[in-house]
Structure formats: C-alpha cells, structure tokens
Chain A
Amino acid sequence: MSATALPADADELRAVVAGLVGATADEIADGDDLVLDWALDSVRAMAFVGRLREAGVSIDLMELSDVPTVAAWWRLIATRRPAGS
C-alpha cells in the first residue's frame, strides 16, 4: 500500500497484511487469526493503523484487534473509506 492509497480490495489488503507478518499472500486465509495464527504484533498493527489514518480511514487499534482477520478488516475499511477513494 502506498503512503496514501488504500487497498482497493480484500486481496490487496491480504498482500499488505502478508507483508506485516512476514508471509506470502496466498498463505493467509480470510478467516485466519492474524495474532494467534500469524503472530502479528501490536507495533506493526499500530503502524498499520497510522497508515490507514493517513489515507483518510479512521479505525483505532482496539477495533482492528477485536476480530483480527483479513475479512473483518476489509469490512471495516470498506465501510469507513472516504467517498471517492
């Protein structure tokens, strides 16, 4: 994901997340628990929150952490993205 562009779809999100956890995109299933299955840490998660914010999406760490899956994250982003992005 570039500095200001949001992922366009769930797969793009999956690729970004794969980068966060040091895996390849095809390894990560939509419903995988990113913490328990993929050992995502809070620092990287916070960095991700920061980048989302810069791109105009306001989701806080707590919300991301509620259901840490690609599927849930995509739903959040899709509903919060600014119009036209």
Chain B
Amino acid sequence: MTAGGDALPLTAAQTGIWFAQQLDEGGAAFITAECLELRGPVDLDLLASAIRTAVDEAEGLHVRLDTDGELPVQRPHAPGDWPLPVVDLRDEEDPDAAVLAWTRSAWRRPLDLATDRLFDEALLRVADDRTAWFQRVHHLAADAMGLSLIARRAAEIHSALACGDEPPPAWFPSLAATLEVESAYRDSPAAGRDDEHWRARFAAPPRITTLTDRPESTGHEVHRASAPLDADLMALLRDASDAVDATWPELAMAAVATYVRRMATTAGHEDDEVPEEIVLGVPMLARLGPVALRSPATMVNVLPLRVALHGGSRPADVVRAVTDGMRGLRRHQRFRGEELRRTIGALGGGRALHGPMVNVLPFDYALDFAGVPAVVRTLGAGPVDDLSFNLYDRGDAPPRLDVEANVGRYDADETGLHAERFPVVLRRFAEAVLAHPEPAGERREPPAAGPVRDTPGPTVDGLELTTPEELARIAGWNATARDVDPALTLVDLLDRCRDAHPDAEAVRLGEHAVTHAELHARADVLATALRERGAGPGQIVAVAVPRSVDLLVALVGVLKSGAAYLPLDPDQPGARLRGMLDDARPVAVVVDPALDDLVPWPDALPLARPSGDADGSVGRATRDEVVAGGPSATVPAAMHGAPPVPVPDDAPDRVARAGDPAYVLYTSGSTGRPKGVVVPHGAIVNRLLWQDDAFPVGPGDRILQKTPVGFDVSVWELFWPLIAGVPLEVAPPGAHRDPRALAELIAGAGVTVCHFVPSMLALFVDEPAAAACTGLRRVVCSGEALPGDLRDRLRALLPGTRLDNLYGPTEAAVDVTHWDCTDDAPGTGVPIGRPVWNTGCHVLGAERRPVPVGATGELHLSGVQLAAGYLGRPDLTDAAFVDDPALGRTYRTGDLARWRPDGAIEYLGRRDHQVKIRGQRIETGEVEAHLTAAPGVVQAAVVARVDGIAGAATTRLVAYVVPASACDAGALRRRLAEALSDAMVPAAFVGLDALPLTVSGKLDRAALPAPEAPVAPGATDDRPPASPTEELVAGVFAELLGRDRVGPDEDFFLLGGHSLLAAQAAQRLRRALGREVSIGALFAAPTAAALALRLEDPDEAGALDVVLPLRQGGDRPPLFCLHPAGGIGWCYAGLTRLLPADQPVVALQAVGLDGSGTPPTTLHEMAADHVRRIRALQPEGPYRLLGWSVGGVLAQAVAALLEDDGADVDVLALLDAYPSDQWRDLAAPEESDALVALLNMAGHDPARLGTGPLTRERVVAALRDDGSALASLGEDVLNAMVGIVVRNAAAMRTHEHRPFHGSAVFFAAAAPRPEDWLDVDGWRAHVRGGLDVHALPCTHAELLRPPHVERIAAVLAPLLAPSN
C-alpha cells in the first residue's frame, strides 16, 4: 500500500468520524454503500473504464490515514491499480436475490483503516441487459451525496465514450480546495454569526426525548427494518404538505416528532412531566458553493431541530413549527454539529445533541449511461447513535422507509415494529393535516355545547398509534379462554379431593399429620358450629390461628360454613388487626387459645376454637350476653356477568356459590386505612385450577406453606395441595424468616415446591445449607421484581430446580401472569410473563386506549379473577374497578408495563407512590397518615429510597418529618410499630425544617436529602463493648444498619433492623464466630450485649483467660496469635473476621490478667508456657503463629522452641515487631511508657492525647471514648495490665533470641515514627529462612484496623490454605 505524500489535516466532519471510529473498532457502521442498477445493455469494458476514471479523479478516496502526534492526518497518494471485479450472477437461480446478498456481504466486509483501501468497486452481471454497479466507501472519504457525484461523473464519462467523444474535463475539486472551503468559512464573519445563532438557540439546554432508555453506546452497528411507502401515501404526503406550504420531507419530520413524543409518553409516573419539545437530528447536505457542491468528500452535517410540540397541537401546527425551524437551520447549516456539541458542553458527558434522526434522501439522480437508465439503492447512509428514520424517494426506485436503530440501544424486534408502525402513523398524520390545514389562530372550534357537526380531527395526543395488525396480535395474546365450570367453588374442589384421596396425607407440621378425611371431618365440625353462630354465604369469619394443622382446619371450616375467611396474622400489631375487625365486622372469629390476647377484641364477638368448641366469645361479653352476630358489612356487587351477591338472606343453610366471597385480605390504603379486598370463589378457583395445570404435581411432591396468612400468596400454598391431593408441609411459625431453617426444612422434609419473595430468595441462595435442597423441583417467585442475576444464581446453586415468576395484585386472585424462566439466557431480565386462564391484560394509555407494543402503559386486568371489590368502600371500588365498554369489567393496577414483541409483559414500575418492601405492598400515604397524626408532627412525607447499604442496593422507607419542636425518631418509630406491620415502619427518620416543594407546589422528592448514618441516641452515655464478642456483634449490626457504630445495649430492631436484616446478621455472625447463631437467638436477644452473652457458653473461656478462642470451628490448623505488650489478645478480633470461615483462630493472652496465676518474668518462660498450651490444643504440626508488637517477639520465640522440639512451623507472621536487640539500650520503662504501650495496643494513637502527663485516668478516658473494649475493664485489670506491660518491656530488653530456621512474613507500619532505629533487617539473624516484607502506609497503632488489616488478611489467606 502506498505510503502517501504530505500530510493534510482532516475536515471537521472527518475528524468527528475518526474519533468515533477509535471507540468503535472494527465497526462496519462507518461504511456507506450504494448499488446502481443499469437497466439496459451496456458495454462493460467502457463502463469499467468510465468508473475507473471517475474514481481516480476523486482525490479524497486515495488517502492514507495516519496520526501526527495525537492528531489524525490524511496523506494523499496516487490511485494505483485498484481491483474492479466483474461478478457474473446471471446463472444464479434468483439473480436479484443474489445481488442483494452479494452487495450486503461486500458492504459489511471489515475495513482496517490502517492498511486497507477506503473504497471498493464491483460490477455485477444480473442479466444480459442488467448490470449492477456496487460502490462502498468509508465515511471518512465520502458521504452518500459524494457517491452520487462519483456516479454522475462516471455516467458522464461513459456517455461520452459511448459516442466516441472526449469526456468533459474533470470537475471534482481537489482535496486541498475542499479543505480550503472549510477554513475560509471558519475565518469568515458568517461563522461568528452562526455561532451566535446556535448559542442563542441552545442557551436553554434541551431535554432529549427518545424511544429507548438504554444509555449511549460506543458502538454504531444498526438494526435495519424497511417498509415500502406506496404511491398513494406519497401522493397524500405531497398534497398535505402543499396545503400547509411545506415540503413533504418537512411534513415527514413533523410526523416523526409527533410519533416520538407520543411513543415516549404513552404512560408514566404521575410525577413525570411530559416533554413539550422534541429535538430531531437532521443531516444537512451542507454543500454550499461550487466547490462544496462538487466534492465527493464527506460534508454531511447533522444539526438539531427543536420542535415545540404540545398535546393539544394540531398536526398542521407541528408542520409549521418544523418549516419555521428548518429555515433557521438552513441559514446556519455550515456550523458543524460536532462543534455545537462541544459548545454546549454535551461532548463526552453522555448528553446527546438530539434524539432520533430524520434523513430524507430525494436526490435528483436522472442518471444516464449512454441512454440506459439507472436506478439507485442506498445501502447504508452512515453511523447511527440512536434511531434514524430514513425516507428514500430516489426517482425510479420505489420509495421506502428504513428505520435504523443502534444495536446497543434497541432490539431488532422493536426496530421492526417501528418500521411497521410509522408509515401507518404518517398516513394518519398527513390525513389530519389535509383535513385541517388552517393555522391555529384561524381555527373555528365547534361550540362547546350541542352536537358536533364538524369534527375537528385529532390533536397530537389524539393521534392513534396502534396498527390494526398489532391490535390483532395483542388480542391473540389475550385469547386465554379455558373451560372452567363457572359454578365451581373452592369448597367443591376441596371436597372432590377428599373424596378421591380420603386417606392420603393432607397436611403435616413436624410430627403431626392428618389425612384429607381427618382434616375435612374436623373442619365440618367447626363449620357446623360457625353456622350456628350465623356464618354463611356473604358473611365473614375472622381466623386467628398460628401456622399449624389447626390453621388449615380453621380455614377449611370457615369455607365449608359458606362464609369467607379473614385471616389475622399473629405477627401484625394488635391495633392494626383490631382496625380490620372493626372494618370487616365478621360474624365470628376462630381463635387458637394461644392467641386469645392477640387483639383487643370487639365486644361480644362470638368465638369458636379450631376444635369446633364454640362456647363463649372473646371480648368482654359472656356467652349469655352475646347477641347473634349482626350482618357483615355489605359486600359490593360481584364480578362482571355474575348475579350480585345477595345480602345475607334467611336461608343460612345455602351453600356458597361461585359469586360468594371466599376470603377477605387487607392491603395498605393510601389515605391511612387499610382496605379489605373481597375475592369470590370463582376467582380463586380459576387461579388454582390454572396452577394445577401449569405446575403439574403428583406422588412424591410436597408443597411448603410458609407465607404468613395475611398475604395472598398463602392462599395457593394452603389450598393448592388440598385440591391436588399432594401433601402440604406447614413450616413452623417464624421459620419463614430464617433461610437456614427453611433450607433444613426443605431438605429434611422433602419439599418439592415452594414460594419465595425475591428478596428472601436472595438470602436463601446465599445460605450454605441451601445447597442440600436438591429435591426442590420448583421455586415460584412473586411479590417483587425478580432480577435476572438472582435467577442465574439460583440456577448455579440448584441446576435441577425450575423457576417460575408470577405477578398479580390481591385484587385479581393472587396472580394474573406467569413466566417460566427455564429457557432464559443468563444475564437477561425476567418479564412478568403471559396472562393466565380466562384473564386479560391490557396495557393502556390516555383515555384507556391500548398503547402500541413496546410502549409504556398502565396495566389493566379483566376476566374471571377480579375481586368483587373493597369491603365497605364503594368509592374506592368504583375508582379501581371500571366498566370498560370494550373490555368489560377491569381493574386498574397502577403498575406500568409494556408488551414485548413476543407477547410477554414487562413490569416497569408504579404510576403512584405505592412501593414493595420485602414483597409487601405499602402505600406510603398510609404511613404518612400515621406520622402526621402523631403528636408533635406538623408535616410528614414517606418515600422509598434505594441506598447502598452493606454493599448492596437496598430499598427502604425513609420518613421525612417536620416536627413542632424536635424530632424524636425513637418515639415515632415505637408509635408506628404498634400500629403498622414490620415492613411499613420506616428504616430511617430525617427531621427537616420544611418539606421541599417543586414550582408547582408538589413535594419535590428529588430534593429530599439522603438520611445520614445517624448517631446512636445517647452515644456518649452508652458504654463501650465489654468483650470481643460484643464488639464483633455490634460491628455486624452497624454494618447492616448502615451506621458508624452501634452501642452494645441498642436494640437492633429499634434501630431499623427488620427480619431480613436479622437473617443476614445471623449469617454473618455464624461465619465470623464459627459458632451456631440462630435468628431466634437474635429475636430473643436483640442487643449486642445480650446476644454476646447468649453466645458465650459459661463453660467457655472468659475474656481474660490465657487461652482465648476467637473463632472455633473449621478443620485447618488454628492460627495462634500471641498477645502484645498489654497481655490482651482482643486486638486480633478484627483480623479474625477477615480470615476464611474455616480458619480457627486462638489468642494467647498473658498470665495474670485476671489476677490469678504467677506471671513468668522472662520472655523465654512466657514462650515456653505458651508452647505447652499450644501443644495441648494441637498436638501435631504444622503450627501457625502470629504476633503484633511484643507478640511478634513472642511468636518468634515460640517458633524457635517448637522447631527445637522437632515440630514444623509453616507460618510465622510478625506485625511490626522488632527484635530485642533494638530495644536493649533504651532506658527502663516507666509507667508512662507502659501507658503508651497500652494505648498502642488498643489501636489508639498516643499522639492524639497531645502533651501533658499521661495518667491512667486520661488513658482510660481515651480508650472509653474510642469505644474500645479495654476501657470497660475494671481498675484491677487495668492495673494488672500496666504491671504486665512494665514487666514485658523489661523482659524484652533482656531477651536473647534463639534462631528460627524457617521464614517469616513481616508487616511493617511504614508511616514516619519517632523510633527511627527500628529495622526489620535486624530479624535476619534470628529468622534464618528469610523475610517476606510488606510495608503498609500506617502507624503501629493502625495496623490491625481497617483498611490495613484487610491487606494483612489478604496476604495471610493463601499462606493459611490447607497444607499440601
């Protein structure tokens, strides 16, 4: 390849492309191509010759790209002899298809800018009288217009040669001339005017609206989808544009702007603001003047067109806005778009200059190759960052639309949908323009009242976006009709199952199991008793029974009585449950004696026991005073098509019918009161029968019931097994919170199917015991969005377990959509799936019209599973359950969703402020209502925030309170905990002077501050931890709660901990201590002090014993850590946590700390003493030793003794310890030295105490302020320690080292220090095997603290690995 001559700079256009290509290596998106078809006989040699001449004349094609320093340059060279192959496709079966395939492939062949030619040419023989001329060129050398100029020149030469004439002289300007045009412009006053224009135009930075929410990518590959633009559409476009004095490209641009705005705003969060402007990218030819007009070089300039667009605008107005805007653009089109990006600061900040591009290519071709006409087809017009609508009307070729979409931001499917849809919308737009071309000011709107004779035509918002094809497709996705007997009730299904398998195991908890026959028999007894108390169809019976076999008896019993059950979850606060009872006014309650005190029961509420005993009532009245339970609150009208539920009539023996309520569950209400959802039998029957079909179960299966009974997931857990004839395993109360207990139950009991809310599944997957659950055939998830990586982690852990994702509100009988994750590619998201039987899913936008596939809408549901309504709340019922003329009775979920092209639905969030916390549905308004009602609170707002806590993104509720005086978070928290469920109590409280508001007076959520890690209340009065275990537990609490520290007497749950965090705490403590830590222990002892006490076995070592295990468990040889000067080994607790979980750690402390024993006086004696203890704990080597400070000296001494004994020491770690020789000549230590050593031991830098005498009092105070466990030691111990320090210091000076022949790893505290004579090399005489030295940038005191201790742990971990 020719080297090239003098370097020329690149044009602005070339520079932009060059830089973009650097980021997108190998991208073929920068190659423009076209195919010209000559329809008639041609002399191929003549044609080839003409092409060669024309191409040779285009200097810009024959350059070598290079860099001069950092900047790119181009070096022109002689054209040389480039290939012009002639490819014969005449014998192909389908030559046209062959041409298409050949040109596509040739166009996309990779091009290496460093070595390859920038263009390729070829001739293709299609038929005897048809020849195709293929050209491709890198965008750096020419643009689409440039290719057409080359074609024009070739035609001119060819026509002349064919006549035997001399071709006209060459007219392509030189590369230099082209560059000159650009520099002349830059130096001209016009450039200054253009710059001012653009700055003014973009003084207010635009908000870019586009059709993807995926971020900009460096790649430029595109998906391409085509659609024809038929002749009458083109005629319509011309007529319509004429009517408004516009050109048809301008009308098309207006249609694109409208389409983009509409597609991007079909539905959204109620706080979202609809954009009032769309910014399109318009590629301008920018060829002004004779040179630019004739140069093949790349000149195309993409500039932004800001189109003001309001929902109420008429299409004709939008066209006028475009024509006005384009005038401004044209006048200033020489100003480069690349420059504009830099000017308005958008470059590199990921801020685009414009949204989708509109590229209209109506080049005037009229090419003539010696009388043979030519038809052009452009194959690729250049790179696309986002989306481009390319409209081609090139004379003889049929007009078409190409939609090109950046592959990093759009899928192929959705690109195809845009291409399918836009021509339809374009037509509707043009028709609307033609129907009402008059400008806004002149329009006569029809009179407000009276019949509308002259329909004004659609506005921008009124334009229909869906195509008939996609509406048909959506209808197909909703064709879910399945034959289910509409008269069936849940009781029918239960009875049938009992009849089929009376003696099969129905329910089991632990050792206690019952058969179907037994269960039904007991339920029948209860049902009879309940009927006597007034239960029957349309009535409600509350159930307060802990999770047990009796719970099933109670629920089935209530159902058999004909009534609906209202479950009272024992974990909910009594006040909340009482509220539900007051609202629902049940006719009776079934209460397990253990829960007699659960609720302040309403007076005279008749009670029954699960056994059927119905003597007496709860509440104050006695049986004799009981008045037969009054009628339940009116149940609202039943589902669409079914007869309304009758007010309880005089025939209580009537059995429940399909339209009668089966259960009532309460959900959070946005104004403060929970609302009761009434679900009829027919609804839940459909749901259960669908599940039984979708998840086949049979002999060998066992289904787990663990979800608290107040959540509707429990409904299928409870009843599906009882209708399928498969045993139900009931988890003991509380087990649902403990992933380890669950794993053990699942594996131990042989559970094959169970449910998890995703946040709990995440904990389960992290739980080591879960790996044993290989018998689990299926996991069902619902309640929260299921992240793709959680699915992938479950698959990795349990490859034989299927995963299904379900979605649905309580108002639609538990779940309405389903997705089977089995074939999901790893890393992809999980949709909520497809509708279940007899259910319709409708993604609707404004005015309840369906939105196009891929656009966001609000999800509305229809079908058999809809609830009857909200108990006693006709206003709420009417608002949520709407009779739609087209869809029948629907329920609006408030969820945002969209259809995928494959018919699955994706969940996109909420319209409002309802949130899910750990799977529980919460209206933030309900929490706000309770807060505002609290004394001392003027205003309150509750939002769900996602913050990073303990290394993970966590969603939690945060309360912002404007208090009357001061905000007492503790009191507020306690108050809320008494009234609201666990998940509804905010995790953090922030006091504000005022709530921030937006311009429109609404709460400005974005302006709410992040909650700070709060200081523990009364932290200065709180005592420091009293033992290493306490310190460790408090540390784990602090980490999980996102706080700096937690005092040992602070209650984990009051500080914002909840059950999920408790499970994580238990897991972490288990790993850190190597000891059993159950969640139950945490609930029973929720402070660090209490829990540490519980965890410390009275028979085990006390904190001051010589042998102090820091971590037990694990099968490796323990790491023995020798105490530093003060004699205490607690300093190693932090390091212990960072070492692998199966690495036991034992600290060896000084004799005499607790006042007992005779302390040895020489280091040698101490070392020998420790050797005896070590050998007692671990009789055989290899031995692993570590010591900090004096502990290091001791460790070396111990190592030497063990070696003498013939034992193997394979790890000796010295932490900033220096041999005795280096201390020998110092003066004997005084008490102040001992105190300094004490401070150092505690990791407290003595320098922080400043000048002034060091006294024991000052030192102890400093330690206490630091929260060190040392400060809690009594006077005696501190005295003993000071004595130990003095003794150790003396012992150090007299010690003579014995040599150790192994090696050691040494950690030096390399920060500058006063003792500058300390030198690690001093060890070499005593550690003969060599030293591996690691220097850390910290002081001696900081070595065992984060972050430096992490480095030490990282170095040690591989050394401690099980020996080879």
Give bound CA distance, A41 to B241, whole Å.
14
Smallest CB-CB separation from A53: which chain B residue?
A: B366
Chain A residues lying within 8 Å of B288, measured Cβ to Cβ, are 35-36, 65
Give bound CA distance, A37 to B331, whole Å.
6
Selected from A39, A41, A44, A60, the residue in CB contact (under 8 A) with B328 is A39
Q: Are B362 and A43 in touch, CB under 8 angstroms?
A: yes
Q: Are A39 and B290 in touch, CB under 8 angstroms?
A: no
Give bound CA distance, A40 to B288, whole Å.
12
- Residue B377 at the chain A interface, CB threshold 8 Å: no
- Residue B327 at the chain A interface, CB threshold 8 Å: yes
Q: Are A66 and B290 in touch, CB under 8 angstroms?
A: yes
Smallest CB-CB separation from B152: which chain A residue?
A: A62
Q: Are A39 and B248 in touch, CB under 8 angstroms?
A: no
Give bound CA distance, A22 to B362, whole Å.
22
Smallest CB-CB separation from A64: which chain B residue?
A: B293
- Residue A46 at the chain B interface, CB threshold 8 Å: yes
- Residue A49 at the chain B interface, CB threshold 8 Å: yes
CB contact list, A9-45 vs B, under 8 A: 22, 35-37, 39-44
Q: Are B247 and A36 in touch, CB under 8 angstroms?
A: no
Give bound CA distance, A42 to B148, whole Å.
15
Whether A65 contacts B293 in the complex (CB less than 8 A), given A22-B245, A43-B248, comes out as yes
- Residue A61 at the chain B interface, CB threshold 8 Å: yes
Q: Are B294 and A62 in touch, CB under 8 angstroms?
A: yes
Chain A residues lying within 8 Å of B293, measured Cβ to Cβ, are 62, 65-66
Give bound CA distance, A44 to B362, whole Å.
11
Give bound CA distance, A76 to B837, whole Å.
75
Selected from B245, B289, B326, B364, the residue in CB contact (under 8 A) with A41 is B326
Q: Are A65 and B287 in touch, CB under 8 angstroms?
A: yes
- Residue B1056 at the chain A interface, CB threshold 8 Å: no
Give bound CA distance, A61 to B190, whole Å.
24
Chain B residues lying within 8 Å of A36, measured Cβ to Cβ, are 190, 288, 330-331
CB contact list, A60-78 vs B, under 8 A: 60-62, 65-67
Chain A residues lying within 8 Å of B1267, measured Cβ to Cβ, are none
Q: How far is the CB of B247 from chain A (nearest CB, A)?
A: 4
Interface size in chain B (residues, C-beta < 8 A): 21
Q: Are A39 and B327 in touch, CB under 8 angstroms?
A: yes
Give bound CA distance, A43 to B241, whole Å.
12
Q: How far is the CB of B1306 from chain A (nearest CB, A)?
A: 77
- Residue B98 at the chain A interface, CB threshold 8 Å: no
Smallest CB-CB separation from B323: which chain A residue?
A: A22
Give bound CA distance, A60 to B366, whole Å.
10
Whether A39 contacts B364 in the complex (CB less than 8 A), given A22-B245, A44-B247, A65-B287, comes out as no
The proximity string for B residues 317-347 relative to A, scoring 1 for CB distances below 8 Å and 0 otherwise, is 0000000001111110000000000000000
Q: Are A43 and B247 in touch, CB under 8 angstroms?
A: yes
CB contact list, B9-42 vs A, under 8 A: none
- Residue B285 at the chain A interface, CB threshold 8 Å: yes
CB contact list, B237-268 vs A, under 8 A: 245, 247-250
CB contact list, B297-330 vs A, under 8 A: 326-330
Q: Are A39 and B294 in touch, CB under 8 angstroms?
A: no
Give bound CA distance, A35 to B364, whole Å.
18
Chain A residues lying within 8 Å of B248, measured Cβ to Cβ, are 43
Selected from B190, B250, B289, B329, the residue in CB contact (under 8 A) with A66 is B289
Chain A residues lying within 8 Å of B245, measured Cβ to Cβ, are 22
Give bound CA distance, A83 to B327, whole Å.
37
Q: How far is the CB of A19 from chain B (nearest CB, A)?
A: 10
Q: Are A39 and B362 in touch, CB under 8 angstroms?
A: no
A-B contact count (CB 8 A): 42
Q: How far is the CB of A61 from chain B (nearest CB, A)?
A: 5
Selected from B249, B294, B329, the residue in CB contact (under 8 A) with A43 is B249
Q: How far is the CB of A7 from chain B (nearest CB, A)?
A: 21
Smallest CB-CB separation from B330: which chain A residue?
A: A39
Smallest CB-CB separation from A50: which chain B residue?
A: B364
Q: How far is the CB of B662 from chain A (nearest CB, A)?
A: 67
Selected from A22, A44, A49, the residue in CB contact (under 8 A) with B364 is A49
Chain A residues lying within 8 Å of B327, measured Cβ to Cβ, are 22, 39
Give bound CA distance, A67 to B330, whole Å.
16
Chain B residues lying within 8 Å of A40, measured Cβ to Cβ, are 330
Chain B residues lying within 8 Å of A60, measured Cβ to Cβ, are 364
Chain B residues lying within 8 Å of A66, measured Cβ to Cβ, are 289-290, 293
Q: How far is the CB of B847 from chain A (nearest CB, A)?
A: 36
Q: How far is the CB of B391 from chain A (nearest CB, A)?
A: 12
Give bound CA distance, A60 to B171, whole Å.
15
Chain B residues lying within 8 Å of A43, measured Cβ to Cβ, are 247-249, 362
Smallest CB-CB separation from B171: which chain A residue?
A: A62
Give bound CA distance, A42 to B247, whole Å.
10
Q: How far is the CB of A46 from chain B (nearest CB, A)?
A: 5
Chain A residues lying within 8 Å of B329, measured Cβ to Cβ, are 39
Chain B residues lying within 8 Å of A42, measured Cβ to Cβ, are 285, 362
Q: Are A61 and B364 in touch, CB under 8 angstroms?
A: yes
Q: Are A35 and B247 in touch, CB under 8 angstroms?
A: no
Q: How far is the CB of A6 from chain B (nearest CB, A)?
A: 20
Chain B residues lying within 8 Å of A46, measured Cβ to Cβ, are 362, 364
Give bound CA distance, A37 to B328, whole Å.
10
Chain B residues lying within 8 Å of A49, measured Cβ to Cβ, are 364
Chain A residues lying within 8 Å of B326, measured Cβ to Cβ, are 39, 41
Q: How far is the CB of B380 from chain A (nearest CB, A)?
A: 21
Q: How far is the CB of B202 from chain A (nearest CB, A)?
A: 19
Smallest CB-CB separation from A68: which chain B residue?
A: B288
Give bound CA distance, A71 to B293, whole Å.
19
Chain B residues lying within 8 Å of A65, measured Cβ to Cβ, are 287-288, 293
Chain B residues lying within 8 Å of A61, measured Cβ to Cβ, are 364
Smallest CB-CB separation from B285: which chain A residue?
A: A42
Q: How far is the CB of A10 from chain B (nearest CB, A)?
A: 22
Smallest CB-CB separation from B289: which chain A residue?
A: A66
Chain A residues lying within 8 Å of B362, measured Cβ to Cβ, are 42-43, 46
Q: How far is the CB of A43 from chain B (nearest CB, A)?
A: 4
Give bound CA distance, A36 to B328, whole Å.
9
Give bound CA distance, A67 to B289, whole Å.
7
Give bound CA distance, A61 to B395, whole Å.
15
Among B190, B293, B294, B328, the one with the most A-chain Cβ atoms within 10 Å of its Cβ is B293
Q: How far is the CB of A50 from chain B (nearest CB, A)?
A: 9
Give bound CA distance, A41 to B251, whole Å.
14
Give bound CA distance, A49 to B366, whole Å.
12
Give bound CA distance, A66 to B288, whole Å.
7
Smallest CB-CB separation from A43: which chain B residue?
A: B247
Q: How far is the CB of A48 from chain B (nearest CB, A)?
A: 11
Smallest CB-CB separation from B366: which chain A residue?
A: A60
Give bound CA distance, A35 to B331, whole Å.
6
Q: How far is the CB of A39 from chain B (nearest CB, A)?
A: 4
Q: How far is the CB of A13 from chain B (nearest CB, A)?
A: 20
Chain A residues lying within 8 Å of B294, measured Cβ to Cβ, are 62
Give bound CA distance, A37 to B362, whole Å.
23
Give bound CA distance, A29 to B907, whole Å.
61
Give bound CA distance, A37 to B293, whole Å.
18
Give bound CA distance, A59 to B190, whole Å.
29
Give bound CA distance, A12 to B348, whole Å.
51
Among B245, B329, B330, B362, the one with the most A-chain Cβ atoms within 10 Å of its Cβ is B330
Give bound CA distance, A62 to B153, whole Å.
13
Q: Are A41 and B330 in touch, CB under 8 angstroms?
A: yes
Q: How far is the CB of B714 from chain A (nearest CB, A)?
A: 67
Give bound CA distance, A67 to B291, whole Å.
11
Q: A35-B330, A43-B248, A43-B249 are in contact. List 20 more A-B contacts (CB 8 A).
A: A22-B245, A35-B288, A36-B190, A36-B288, A36-B330, A36-B331, A39-B326, A39-B327, A39-B328, A39-B329, A39-B331, A41-B247, A43-B247, A44-B247, A46-B364, A49-B364, A62-B293, A62-B294, A66-B290, A67-B290
The 5 A-B residue pairs whose C-beta atoms are closest, nearest first, are A39-B327, A39-B330, A43-B247, A66-B290, A46-B364
Selected A-B contacts with CB under 8 Å, 30 pairs: A22-B245, A35-B288, A35-B330, A36-B190, A36-B288, A36-B331, A37-B331, A39-B327, A39-B328, A39-B329, A39-B330, A39-B331, A40-B330, A41-B247, A41-B250, A41-B326, A41-B330, A42-B285, A43-B247, A43-B248, A43-B249, A43-B362, A44-B247, A46-B364, A49-B364, A62-B294, A65-B288, A65-B293, A66-B290, A67-B290
